[in-house]
């Protein structure tokens, strides 16, 4: 299943971009290499990253979340449902009625 993972730095924390960016870059490269990553984007102010990844199970989502937390970011994951999946959901709902 595909997920949109939006990770940001907490607003109230002081940010030293020059010091923190190398770790974030390493985490981004690791995620892009290890998982099926469709999109990877750094926010313009470099205090966060967005990914769209295709994951096999909840364990992979937990691993990505842990990597982003170690980089000092707060991740939010949102499942993305494609057209075929929506069709199947509608068919399943119709059968239930």
With pLDDT > 90 as the criterion, what percentage of the chain qualifies? 21
Domain extent for 71: 2-96
Q: What are the φ and ψ backbone dihedral angles of 10, each rounded to 5 degrees?
A: -55, 135
Kindly report the CATH number assigned to the domain that includes residue 22: 3.30.70.1060
How many independent structural domains does the chain possess? 1
Point out which residues pair with 7 in neighbouring strands: 49, 75
Triad 57, 61, 63: Cα angle to 5°: 115
Q: Tens digit of pLDDT for each residue in 9-50?
A: 877 666 666 667 777 888 888 888 888 888 888 876 667 889
Kindly report whether the global pTM for this prediction surpasses the value 0.85. Answer: no
Point out which residues pair with 39 in neighbouring strands: 52
């Amino acid at each position: 299943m595909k997920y949109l993972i939006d990770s940001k730095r907490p607003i109230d924390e002081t940010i030293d971009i020059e010091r923190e960016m190398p770790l974030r870059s390493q985490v981004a490269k690791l995620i892009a290499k290890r998982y099926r990553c469709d999109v990877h984007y750094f926010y313009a102010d470099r205090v966060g990253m967005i990914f769209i990844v295709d994951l096999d199970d909840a364990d992979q989502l937990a691993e990505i979340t842990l990597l982003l937390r170690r980089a000092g970011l707060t991740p939010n994951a949102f499942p993305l449902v494609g057209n075929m999946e929506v069709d199947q959901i509608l068919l399943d709902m119709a059968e239930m009625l």
